[in-house]
Amino acid sequence: MGKNGTKWAVVGGGHAGQAIAGLLGLQGHDVKLYDVYPELVSAINAKGGIQMQDDLNGFAPVTLASTEMKDVLTPDREFVAVVIPTAFYDSVAEKCAPYIKKDQIVLLFPESTLGAYAFWKRAKGCGAEDFIPVACNQLIYCCRAWAPGLVNVNGHKEYVGIAAIPAHKTEYVVEKMRPFFPQMRGLKNALESSLTNFQAIVHPIPLVMNLSRVENKEEWNPYFDGVTKSIAAFMDKVDAERLAIGRAYGFELDGMVTMYRDMYAFCSGETIYDVLQTCSCYRKIQGWKELDTRYLYEDLPYSLVPMIALAKLAGVETPHMEAFRTISYMLVGEYLDEGRTFEALGFDRMTKEQFVREIVNG
Amino acid sequence: MGKNGTKWAVVGGGHAGQAIAGLLGLQGHDVKLYDVYPELVSAINAKGGIQMQDDLNGFAPVTLASTEMKDVLTPDREFVAVVIPTAFYDSVAEKCAPYIKKDQIVLLFPESTLGAYAFWKRAKGCGAEDFIPVACNQLIYCCRAWAPGLVNVNGHKEYVGIAAIPAHKTEYVVEKMRPFFPQMRGLKNALESSLTNFQAIVHPIPLVMNLSRVENKEEWNPYFDGVTKSIAAFMDKVDAERLAIGRAYGFELDGMVTMYRDMYAFCSGETIYDVLQTCSCYRKIQGWKELDTRYLYEDLPYSLVPMIALAKLAGVETPHMEAFRTISYMLVGEYLDEGRTFEALGFDRMTKEQFVREIVNG
């Protein structure tokens, strides 16, 4: 096992990175794992792998864990999975660039909004070969790493939408990934992946609108206690802006209400208030007790901010998104970096048509 | 008693209107009371006055209560006290205009921001004689009308700042009012009254930032539970904008922190968070359980909105005030009218200098 399987590099040893490494290890593949934390890397090397529990069970060998990218992205690696907060894409793209091979598939899990595009542009800017970045619009598992090398996985998604840059390689990637990730389905292109990411709406709005509960470390549920009618109605308006951006780029996207009803049979109703109130699997979720959470520092600068950038590039008005962004940066700006802004994406130097051509055709 | 004293007209029979009418009645004056509600008017006429309890005690005769302005603002009335939500100033100014006498003192309790100015302009526009509008920057008592004709008064303010339009008549008004309201102190002018009104900050921000608690009808305290560090820091920034507006109009105003420490000996600290956390008299305040409250529909459109208008007229940047206004109208706009906007105040047709001349010189 292990060394006889397909050779994978997994970049990122957080909850999701360990889960992906563990899944591949259980499947019998040869996995190398990169992470920035020496203690984590040492612990996994000492164990020789990752103990998986719950839905995926067993010991998953890891060939090598390292804090050195060159030791993980070795020339023998066939595929790369980048499983890190999208906030770190720029710096990790720089570190990966020298070692990425021509035509190598690089999965980006989950990319938030325009994460694959940003990773690809930065890596190319640092001299990377022509690789195939793959936008994955969500994680495959709900997972939690209790300790380095000990991961619980429970509940997997029925499907995960993916899109390669360029888009015509998406079906090739889906085929290539089927042995590892049979849940993957092709999206039209990486722009569709970005625009179906509603984390931008469903995390930061309940969080910022319940700041005092978070700072008081109260016991609360973000989607029942925290999303009352006025707040939900605001989310409906923000989601309508997301759909308008979609239309400007030629997509007839589903609204969040439809997406919730499709994801969960028990969700019903016509508004975000309705679907969240009937979303019984959210009943047990504990509200945030810290502002230093990726539901804020990731989902605002790297999901909502680039959606606003996409809107501006296409001339779509997004007053609700912008008002929420503005007040959020005023309230909790110390936890947020600028993120994937219009300028950071280079949108001030291209037209909508140029951008679409680039993200679709590579 | 009663008919032998000074002849007053009190416009408005809510909590504060009944308290003012009762105070004047207890002092032995001849009070007529206007209100829009026939049941309230009938009940007070049936009792022949208002029963006062707590800090002010006794039965206060009311000569006549009526829903007809002409029956209350009779030619024999020496003084007028308008004690209504400032949201209704325009319509009440129209109703009063035909009956206000030349040089009559008309107290406006409390005027919020630019309420006296707006009342005066509207009444004049409806053909009122040259009267003396008086901006009162707060109510004199904490009071509650438990039923028509039954008022509890507890806790009175040490002083209430007032300013006449024109400003040179303020000292004359203070002298005239001393027998009735010895707490009144002259402010520089009606603009100072407007700019010291921090209700614009201390009510709507905790309310909107805790919308979900309000809509859930939770038990909460608006100034302890509801104002955590991030929210308080935002209020500090909004208050700094208020001070900047003051400077643009030539005032060195006290910040809210100083005002709290001056009002309450037990308040201490350097930030709004500090003074609210140490404000023990706020400990027992119950959080709002309805959005249909004057702390929202009055303090946003008639306090914060005209402050932003004053800023714009003077070329002062108020990004925090504007961001808060924008998101509030998006979240709870159904409870808010447009309020005292830049245009409603006629600021689009005058310069800052013209406006200052008008509010100062009449």
Is the pLDDT higher at A3 or at A278?
Answer: A278
Nearest CA in chain A to B234: A331
How far, in Å, CA of A259 to CA of A140, rounded? 17
Query: What is the DSSP code (8-state) at residue A278?
Result: T
Which among B214, B228, B324 has the least Cβ separation from residue A327? B324
Upper half-sphere CA count for residue A123 (Cβ side, 13 Å)? 28
pLDDT at B296 > cutoff 80: yes
By the CB < 8 Å criterion, does A211 face chain B?
yes
Q: How confident is the model at residue B4 (pLDDT cuts 50, 70, 90)?
A: low
How far, in Å, CA of B237 to CA of B318, rounded? 9
The answer to whether the beta carbons of residues B186 and B160 sit under 8 Å apart is no
Residues A139 and A51 grouped into a single domain:
yes
Residue A183 forms part of a structural domain: yes
- Written as six digits, the tokens of B181 are 């309201």
Taking each helix axis from N to C end, the angle separating B305-314 and B319-332, rounded to the nearest 10 degrees, works out to: 150
* pLDDT, tens only, A125-180: 999 999 999 999 877 777 777 888 888 877 666 788 999 999 999 999 999 999 99
Residues A119 and A211 grouped into a single domain:
no
Average pLDDT, integer, range B6-18: 95
Residues A316 and A349 grouped into a single domain:
yes
Residues A229 and A182 grouped into a single domain:
no
DSSP-based three-state secondary structure for A61: strand
* Residue where the block lists tokens 């690696």: A77
Q: Is the peptide bond before A179 cis (omega within 30 degrees of 0)?
A: no
In sequence order, the 6+-apart residues with CB closer than 8 A to the CB of B97 are B122, B123, B124, B126, B127, B128
Is the pLDDT higher at B196 or at A348?
Answer: A348
Nearest CA in chain B to A222: B212
Residues of A with CB below 8 A from B324's CB?
Answer: 327
Domain span including residue A293 = 199-361
Q: What is the pLDDT of residue A65?
A: 98
Residues A154 and A230 grouped into a single domain:
no
Residue B1 forms part of a structural domain: no
- Written as six digits, the tokens of A110 are 């989950």
- Written as six digits, the tokens of B53 are 């309890």
Q: How confident is the model at residue A1 (pLDDT cuts 50, 70, 90)?
A: very low
Average of per-residue pLDDT values in chain A: 94
Residues A298 and A220 grouped into a single domain:
yes
* pLDDT, tens only, A249-290: 999 999 999 998 988 888 899 999 999 999 887 888 889 999
Residue A2 forms part of a structural domain: no
Residue A29 forms part of a structural domain: yes
By the CB < 8 Å criterion, does A244 face chain B?
no
By the CB < 8 Å criterion, does B117 face chain A?
no
Q: What is the pLDDT of residue A155?
A: 64
Residues A76 and A143 grouped into a single domain:
yes
- Written as six digits, the tokens of B89 are 């100033």
Average pLDDT, integer, range B298-314: 97
Residue B216 forms part of a structural domain: yes
The answer to whether the beta carbons of residues A299 and A203 sit under 8 Å apart is yes
Residues of B with CB below 8 A from A237's CB?
Answer: 330
Residue type, A311: A
In sequence order, the 6+-apart residues with CB closer than 8 A to the CB of A12 are A34, A35, A82, A83, A84, A92
pLDDT at A30 > cutoff 60: yes
Residue that finishes a domain, picked among A193, A226, A250: A193
Residue type, B307: M
In the beta sheet, which residues pair with residue B58?
Answer: B52
* pLDDT, tens only, B114-164: 999 999 999 999 999 999 999 998 777 777 778 888 888 776 677 889 999
Residue that finishes a domain, picked among A176, A193, A210: A193
**Residue whose C-alpha is closest to residue B325's, from B361, B300, B360:** B300
- The distance in angstroms from the start CA to the end CA of chain A is 36
How far, in Å, CA of A284 to CA of B121, rounded? 57
Q: CATH number of the domain that A304 lies in?
A: 1.10.1040.10
The answer to whether the beta carbons of residues A51 and A151 sit under 8 Å apart is yes
Which among A216, A327, A330 has the least Cβ separation from residue B228? A216
Q: What is the pLDDT of residue B160?
A: 87
Average pLDDT, integer, range A110-138: 94
CB contact under 8 A, B320 and A331: no
CB atoms within 10 A of CB B82: 28
Burial grade of B51 (CB within 10 A; 0-12, 13-18, 19 or more): middle
The secondary element (H helix, E strand) that includes residue B66 is strand B64-66
- Written as six digits, the tokens of A104 are 């190598």
How far, in Å, CA of B231 to CA of B227, rounded? 6
The answer to whether the beta carbons of residues A186 and A162 sit under 8 Å apart is yes
Residue that finishes a domain, picked among A193, A211, A237: A193
Q: CATH number of the domain that A86 lies in?
A: 3.40.50.720
By the CB < 8 Å criterion, does B280 face chain A?
no
Q: Which of A168-172, A314-318, B180-184 has the lowest mean pLDDT?
A: B180-184
pLDDT at A294 > cutoff 60: yes
**Residue whose C-alpha is closest to residue B278's, from B240, B244, B227, B314:** B227
* Residue where the block lists tokens 């007209």: B9
pLDDT at B224 > cutoff 60: yes
The answer to whether the beta carbons of residues B297 and B334 sit under 8 Å apart is no
Rounded to the nearest angstrom, the minimum Cα separation between B289 and chain A is 13
Residues A93 and A238 grouped into a single domain:
no
Q: How confident is the model at residue B305 (pLDDT cuts 50, 70, 90)?
A: very high
Residue B106 forms part of a structural domain: yes
pLDDT at A3 > cutoff 70: no
Q: Which of A10-19, A298-307, B157-166, B232-241 has the lowest mean pLDDT?
A: B157-166
Residues A189 and A281 grouped into a single domain:
no
Residues A149 and A289 grouped into a single domain:
no
DSSP-based three-state secondary structure for A79: strand
Chain A contact probe: residue of B211, B212, B215, B218 with most A CBs at under 10 A? B212
By the CB < 8 Å criterion, does A210 face chain B?
yes
The secondary element (H helix, E strand) that includes residue A169 is none
pLDDT at A101 > cutoff 80: yes
Average pLDDT, integer, range B78-96: 95
**Which of B 27-56 lie inside 8 A of A, CB atoms?**
none
Strands A64-66 and A30-34: parallel
Residues B103 and B169 grouped into a single domain:
yes
C-alpha B307: how far from chain center: 14
What percentage of chain A carries pLDDT values higher than 90?
82
Average pLDDT, integer, range A21-36: 96
Question: In chain B, how many domains are there?
Answer: 2
In sequence order, the 6+-apart residues with CB closer than 8 A to the CB of B343 are none
* Residue where the block lists tokens 């209100």: B35
Residues A157 and A45 grouped into a single domain:
yes
Residue B2 forms part of a structural domain: no
By the CB < 8 Å criterion, does A57 face chain B?
no
DSSP-based three-state secondary structure for B43: helix
How far, in Å, CA of B13 to CA of B143, rounded? 12
Residue type, A119: F
By the CB < 8 Å criterion, does A318 face chain B?
no
By the CB < 8 Å criterion, does A323 face chain B?
yes
The interface predicted TM-score of the complex, written ipTM, equals 0.89
Residue A182 forms part of a structural domain: yes
